[in-house]
Amino acid sequence: IAGITQAPTSQILAAGRRMTLRCTQDMRHNAMYWYRQDLGLGLRLIHYSNTAGTTGKGEVPDGYSVSRANTDDFPLTLASAVPSQTSVYFCASSDGTSGGTDTQYFGPGTRLTVL
Amino acid sequence: GQNIDQPTEMTATEGAIVQINCTYQTSGFNGLFWYQQHAGEAPTFLSYNVLDGLEEKGRFSSFLSRSKGYSYLLLKELQMKDSASYLCAPMDSNYQLIWGAGTKLIIKP
């Protein structure tokens, strides 16, 4: 593995179902992020984690949860998917040692469709 | 509130120069990032400015004026592979990136 991986690449999901998007990085980065990207809008931060064991809410956290049990993994869970959660989801990570101004590096994304 | 403004779409000719402008309003400021995003792919880092002035990196340069809340990305010697969206993202006082919707750059032969 080199960089950040996300799984699945794409998924079609029935409304009401539970879904976990996986994100793994092998760069030993402290900070990790989940964004969603919708057509015509900028990336919006869902949740973040500054270090293993801690998480925080971003701009659009409702309907999503995260955990950070270790440095490498940062899964995003949709407890009960709704059609408005149809989007492309990007996971990102940053070194977290420059006082917060580190460059973020992105995974390839997961395209999620909720019907 | 926090706001980013950049043109939705621009067209330029292969070999030419193009400037993509970005104006921003954020709660606090901790620098500004530019990313490139090809269709269907992830954003990739281009530049970071925290001080006023021009930062040059090969064919790409980025400029920042903090007092004016303004930045631009300058692309020289355009190549077809430069066709992509360019995302402006200032960082606010909480060290969170505030993303613009991006400028789609179309390069014509």
B39 touching A (Cβ < 8 Å):
no
Angle ∠(B90,B94,B96) on CA atoms, nearest 5:
45
A30 touching B (Cβ < 8 Å):
no
Q: Is the peptide bond preceding residue A8 cis, with omega within 30 degrees of 0?
A: yes
Average pLDDT across chain B, whole number: 95
Q: What is the pLDDT at residue A99?
A: 64
Q: Which residues of A33-67 are buried (b: 16+ CB within 10 A; e: fewer)?
A: bbbbbeeeebbbbbbbbbeeeebeebbbbeebebe
Which residues, other chains included, contact B41 with Cβ-Cβ below 8 Å and sequence gap of 6+?
A108, A109
- Summarize pLDDT for A13-48 with one digit per residue, the tens: 999 999 999 999 999 999 999 999 998 888 999 999
pLDDT band at B83 (very low <50, low <70, confident <90, very high): very high
Q: Is B28 left (phi over 0), alpha (psi -120 to 50) or beta?
A: left
Interatomic CA distance for residues B80 and A77, integer angstroms: 39
B96 touching A (Cβ < 8 Å):
yes
User: Is the pLDDT assigned to residue A12 strictly greater than 70?
Assistant: yes
Q: Evaluate the CA torsion angle A50, A56, A57, A63 in order and state its sign.
A: positive
Residue B43: C-alpha distances to residues A55, A102, A105, B68 (Å): 23, 15, 8, 26
- Summarize pLDDT for B46-78 with one digit per residue, the tens: 999 999 999 999 999 999 999 999 999 999 999
User: Is the pLDDT assigned to residue B1 strictly greater than 80?
Assistant: no
Q: Which of A40, A42, A100 sits opposite B95 (nearest CB)?
A: A100
A109: chain B residues, CB-CB within 8 Å: 41-42
- Summarize pLDDT for B4-15 with one digit per residue, the tens: 999 999 999 999
Q: Which of B31, B43, B102 sits opposite A101 (nearest CB)?
A: B31
Contact A71, A77 (CB under 8 A): no
B57 touching A (Cβ < 8 Å):
no
B4 touching A (Cβ < 8 Å):
yes
Nearest CA in chain B to A42: B101
Q: Which two tokens stand for residue B56?
A: 């040059």
Best residue of A38, A43, A104 to probe chain B, by most B CBs closer than 10 Å? A43
